[in-house]
Amino acid sequence: KQEVTQIPAALSVPEGENLVLNCSFTDSAIYNLQWFRQDPGKGLTSLLLIQSSQREQTSGRLNASLDKSSGRSTLYIAASQPGDSATYLCALRTSGSRLTFGEGTQLTVNP
């Protein structure tokens, strides 16, 4: 059974800092890994998708990496802004549309 762990559970940083969110998983037999953002009371916004055969993906200030051999993914956020405050979730797709989610990292960026 796939288990996904995200560390840290919560993170508070001053504006402008670069930061790294971590995601670890137990089963490397995945189709892809997706990073999402969730604002309070809202749905999930897809940030980055990394296919199983890829090592990293970049979108603007975001960079995500995937290392299947070690069961790890990281989301790097450069030059953080208060608008980046949200919960960040990583999810692994193992079959069809079945995603296994981590518990999330709650990020607060202080002005």
CA pair distance 91, 102, nearest whole angstrom: 6
CA pair distance 32, 18, nearest whole angstrom: 25
Please give the C-alpha separations between residue 90 and each of 14, 15, 66, 110, 111, in angstroms, as whole numbers.
23, 23, 11, 23, 26
* Residues in region 40-69 near other proteins by CB under 8 A: 41-46, 49, 51
Q: Does 14 bind other proteins (CB under 8 A)?
A: no
Residue 109 pairs with which residues in a beta bridge? 13
- Options 7-15, 18-26, 67-75, 89-97: segment touching other proteins (CB under 8 A): 89-97
Binding other proteins (rule: CB under 8 A), the pick from 22, 24, 28, 32 is 32
Give the count of residues interacting with other proteins (CB under 8 A): 25
Binding other proteins (rule: CB under 8 A), the pick from 91, 92, 107, 109 is 91
Question: Given the DSSP bridges, would you call strands 105-110 and 10-14 parallel, antiparallel or unpaired?
Answer: parallel
- Pick between residue 13 and residue 31 the one whose CB is nearest to other proteins: 31
Binding other proteins (rule: CB under 8 A), the pick from 16, 103, 108, 110 is 103
For the chain, how big is the Rg over CA atoms in Å?
Answer: 13
**In the block, which residue shows the tokens 């296994």?**
100
- Pick between residue 80 and residue 89 the one whose CB is nearest to other proteins: 89
Name the residues that contact other proteins, by CB under 8 A.
31-32, 34, 36, 41-46, 49, 51, 89, 91, 93, 95-104
